[in-house]
Every structure is written in structure tokens, then in C-alpha cells.
């Protein structure tokens, strides 16, 4: 589903073209996939975003990856690469972020174990990589 989404395909093409020397799509413990990893004195994981806008969601995706690695004994830093903006945002975990992530994990657990909310179809839905999860095979009748 997500891998077939046009936006995902554009993002893959972009990071293959802009970062040709780096090993891409690194799977870690068959649980998370990062765009690429650089190692040396420290481990730096990279996420590449095709967006022309820097978003909080991008940061929290990377924070989640860093926390996942931390929980498995790997201290790492992260960078979000925005090739269309020619910008890079560096991120590191700290106690405040870890506490915030713990709260987010608890909220996610409550949502997952609670009753299913009603699905509301919006215009933005047809561009979402997860459209089929909400609406199945209904087509684009929005």
C-alpha cells in the first residue's frame, strides 16, 4: 500500500538521485527502516523528505527511530535531509524528548486498545498512502 503511493515513490527516487553513495533503506531488527546510516565516531541515521516544508511529524518520526535504537543499546544522532530546500535538520534525544515520547506511547496504547473511532472521509484522504486502510477498495469518490 504505502510503497505503491506516488508520494512515496517520488521520495524514493529523490533520495536515490541525491545521495547515490550512501547505503539506502537500512532495515533495523526488521522493525524500522531508515533512509541511510552513516557510521564513524558516531552513528547518524538519516531521513530524506521530499517536502518543501519542515514539519514536526518529520522530527517525531526520527525521534522514534532514535528512541528505538536507544532501547536496543545504540546511541545515535539523527538528521532530516530536505534536498529540495537544501537544508538539513540535526536531532538528538534528550530527557525531555524521551519523556514526551513515553507519553505519546501511552496515548497510542490507549487509542489502539480502545474502541474504533468513526471514519470521516476528507478531500486530503485520497492523497494518503494509507487510504485503503480506512476505506478499503471504495475508489476515489471523494
- Which band of pLDDT confidence, cut at 50, 70 and 90, is reported for residue 142? very low
Highest mean pLDDT among 1-10, 90-99, 133-142: 90-99
66-71 long-range CB contacts below 8 Å, 24 or more apart?
A: 66/91, 66/92, 66/93, 67/93, 67/98, 67/101, 68/28, 68/31, 68/32, 69/28, 69/43, 69/45, 70/98
Three-state secondary-structure class, residue 95: helix
Write out pLDDT tens, residues 41-95.
999 999 999 888 889 999 999 999 999 999 999 999 999 999 989 999 999 999 9
**Nearest partner of 88 among 40, 23, 28, 19, judged by Cα:** 19
Determine the pLDDT at residue 115: 93
Write out pLDDT tens, residues 100-133.
999 999 999 999 999 988 888 998 888 888 888 8
Write out pLDDT tens, residues 18-37.
555 555 678 788 888 888 88
Q: What dotted CATH number matches 2-135?
A: 3.40.1350
Q: Is the pTM of this model over 0.85?
A: no
Question: What is the longest distance spanned by two Cα atoms in the chain?
Answer: 52
Determine the pLDDT at residue 25: 76
Determine the pLDDT at residue 114: 94
Amino acid at each position: 500500500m504505502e510503497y505503491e503511493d506516488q508520494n512515496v515513490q517520488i521520495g524514493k527516487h529523490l533520495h536515490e538521485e541525491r545521495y547515490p553513495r550512501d547505503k539506502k533503506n537500512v532495515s533495523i531488527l526488521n522493525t524500522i527502516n531508515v533512509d541511510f546510516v552513516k557510521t564513524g565516531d558516531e552513528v547518524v541515521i538519516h531521513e530524506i523528505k521530499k517536502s518543501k516544508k519542515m514539519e514536526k511529524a518529520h522530527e517525531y518520526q526520527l525521534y522514534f527511530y532514535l528512541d528505538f535504537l536507544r532501547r536496543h543499546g545504540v546511541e545515535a544522532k539523527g538528521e532530516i535531509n530536505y534536498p529540495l530546500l537544501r537544508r538539513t535538520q540535526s536531532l538528538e534525544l534528550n530527557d525531555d524528548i524521551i519523556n514526551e515520547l513515553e507519553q505519546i506511547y501511552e496515548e497510542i496504547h490507549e487509542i489502539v486498545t480502545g474502541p474504533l473511532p468513526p471514519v470521516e472521509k476528507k478531500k486530503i484522504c485520497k492523497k494518503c498512502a494509507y487510504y485503503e486502510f480506512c476505506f478499503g477498495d471504495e475508489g476515489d469518490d471523494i
